[in-house]
Structure 1
């Protein structure tokens, strides 16, 4: 089973450009990059020429011996056994970060007259690009890939309800029958998260035990990457940060504290390790702004930030929260539920908006979970895991800054009340649509 990914439409936009630059797809391991690009190539090209530099290290020599794109194409055609034709064959370089010369060759392909369509992807591509000194700026396009959104999951789990949510064109309550039916699927998504292999298992087998096994295995695979791809001095530091994230998020004040990583830990000792996790796409960093203004980058407080995991299902597994507690919630679970839901909302917003969210505090008086910059508006966001939606912080912020639009995500129904839009958690993936509707 293949999930229908929203990014397919972005790939089609790239393909239909007059002369598309090579495209680099960034994203963490296990988010579905290879499946997406292979499916895209099979559907929209005559052929796909697939090369994996991790599994086929001998391919590197083709790029080391020559910088001539035409000669490279001739050699690669012999490898796949058919001619690689401009516009008809999609060239897919998987795990391209394993071959720096192949990455650099994209410059020569872009400057040539061959007009080949090339996509590169890799699980640690972000790390490579973050540390590259000679990568040709302006010679490639980029596309970020994230775990499955809930709507992508729902499309496979309950296509009828997926079509219903996509058809919503106005901010008004959802009938209870549809609301409760969608909520059942959302609880399952909360269990498995958005890593496609795990979500696929839950949709097909409905086995919670198998879901737990897969999430545990993926977590171990990430830890293996630490030891395989990281300088020895940083391996343990990365592991300490990685394992501390559930503890960081379980606090009422979720500000990241290095002392939570290890007693006596200091920022300067762990900054490189944290940067590696961010560049690898394994965590999200949300900076604090103490002053509200545009652009965000001018008001970031670099000393304060929150760290979330790339996927809520992985966070649940790392926190050792049993899947059945999601289906049968109790008081013990409620304290961590807020962290899970915040992680989910951040995933959804990150996939929709180019400018990443921040969060806001005011001298210990109030804290806004997320602050979004969109269409030259600053939009405060409160996240609630249940129907209790009282928020002194949002009230304080509103009196101070008088925003045109405020957002609240909760388990309450879709409604617009005096410039406050309450969006059910399972509709977070349509946030951009609702904001466009409200601001125009």
Structure 2
């Protein structure tokens, strides 16, 4: 089976080489490649890998019966399976499907203090389960959040090396347009990525077979698996309401006003009736929540309205799989990103921002046409980001930059199907470069971006 190189690979190497490492908790939605990456890392770096899957091997839930000390847990694992070898300094203990047995997280403190064995825990962490894990192990673990492949990882899967992302970033920093062949090839690969999404099973099948055959069926099965997770793990909440919210996302994104409205989910539904449902889906990694700013100014943290947000899927490929057959076929056959009133554009860019570590915010002024899709920031500036379905005017973006009412905004970013350019304090870049946006902003802070300096802000 083809292994898909992931960004967690480099993180795991750094973690292992840390002389003061803490047990690692890798969290993320189901089937994004957590187990595969950890297992591969373990066999490449340790003499002994002891893997315990709490779903498949429920008998191991008894290993804490004598307490949470590392010694007692190791002893009980050895009693249950004497073939498992614990070699001090050369063993990785891998607890998988942690959401099935969050109690084991209490032991992480003692494994850190014991320091004889490296420990990694992994699982999809929806809702209350991860809150229990967090409270049981605070201060004694390192977290890593893993999602489906981003576009850079997809490029690796296609055979491109690290140098391509560096070259793409150089184009953005220098405001240097891509050549016609560069732009066409990257856009074609990007559209394939949009249709497939980043779920490893879908991408691997496409890479191995060089065809899209079977991808839609796999994506739809993954959607069914997500719905099953809701039914299984939504403790303390109304599972039916969480499912209703999840199922209504495509229809709500099809509206001109993409703000999520609970009143459309069920008759007479109110936000307070669905309290916790959106947070559960977000924590499970199933959706990306884009919150409405109270006002476009810094700081961003806490500067948003609790009951105003847009909901996007955590993986655009799964969103396309949930569209009606006609819209899904239109995209797959004609590469028509305009289906669902431009919602795909926003989903794609939102997904790229989240995977690069940027929280999602938008702004819509009451009783006005002023609205902006996303906001990011440098150290000193708030940066509006407009996602254009068609190359045209950017009235809201220009207003935000020019008006004295928004002193934190000095320039804007526009993502289009076109090429790189900078004019009137607006930097334009192609959709396929969205995964580089945070790196570009970091280069702005370091004074490495020529067009950023030209603005004299």
Same fold (TM over 0.5): yes
Q: Is the 8 A contact 1:147 1:196 kept in 2?
A: yes
Matched, 1:414 2:420: yes
Whether the 8 Å contact between 1:187 and 1:326 is mirrored in structure 2 is: no
The structure 2 residue matched to 1:106, chosen from 90, 93, 108, is 108
2:444 aligned residue: 438
- Distance in 1 between the 2:318 and 2:26 partners? 22
**TM (normalized to structure 2)?**
0.89
Any residues of structure 2 matched to 1:17-416 within 5 Å, and which? 17-77=18-78, 79=81, 81-110=83-112, 112-124=113-125, 127-130=128-131, 134-159=135-160, 163-168=163-168, 169-171=170-172, 172-231=176-235, 234-320=238-324, 321-323=327-329, 325-329=331-335, 334-336=338-340, 338-353=342-357, 355-363=358-366, 364-386=368-390, 388-400=391-403, 401=406, 403-416=409-422
C-alpha RMSD of the superposition: 2.2
Change (3 A) 1:47 1:422: farther
Change (3 A) 1:380 1:215: same
Counterpart contact for 1:97–1:103, Cα < 8 Å: no
CA distance in 1, matches of 2:429, 2:45: 36
The one-character-per-residue Cα deviations of 1:255-304 (angstroms, maximum 9, x if unpaired) are 11001211211111112322221221111111111213332123211121
2 CA distance for matches of 1:349 and 1:342? 10
CA distance in 2, matches of 1:336, 1:228: 31
Post-superposition CA distance 1:202-252 (Å, at most 9, x none): 222244340111011111111111222224861211111111000111111
CA distance in 2, matches of 1:437, 1:100: 40
Measured in 2, the distance between the counterparts of 1:232 and 1:6 equals 34
- Which consecutive residues of structure 1, in runs of 5 or more, have no partner in the other structure? none
1:142 Cα deviation after fit? 0.8
* Preserved contact between residue 86 and residue 117 of structure 1 (Cα < 8 Å): no
In the aligned structure 2, how far is the partner of 1:187 from the partner of 1:375? 32
Q: 1:134 to 1:64 in 2, by over 3 A?
A: farther
Equivalent-residue separation in structure 1 for 2:345 and 2:116 (angstroms): 45
TM-score by length of 1: 0.92
The count of aligned residue pairs is 434
Is the Cα–Cα contact under 8 Å of residues 64 and 101 in structure 1 kept in the other structure? no
Change (3 A) 1:28 1:69: same
Structure 1 Cα separation of the partners of residues 115 and 431 of structure 2 = 47
> C-alpha distance in 2, partners of 1:99/1:316?
33
Report Cα offsets for 1:39-96 as digits up to 9, x if no partner: 2222333332211111111001012332220221233356372432344222211111
Q: What is the alpha-carbon distance in structure 2 between the residues aligned to residue 86 and residue 293 of structure 1? A: 53
CA shift for structure 1 position 323: 4.3
Alignment partner of 1:142: what SS?
A: strand
Moved over 6 A (4+): none
Cα–Cα, structure 1 residues 431 and 425, in superposed 2: closer, same or farther, change >3 Å? same
Superimposed CA distance per residue, residues 99-139 of structure 1 (whole angstroms, 9 cap, x where no aligned partner): 132121112222x2324211111113554123568423211
Cα distance change on mapping 1:436 and 1:61 into 2, 3 Å: same
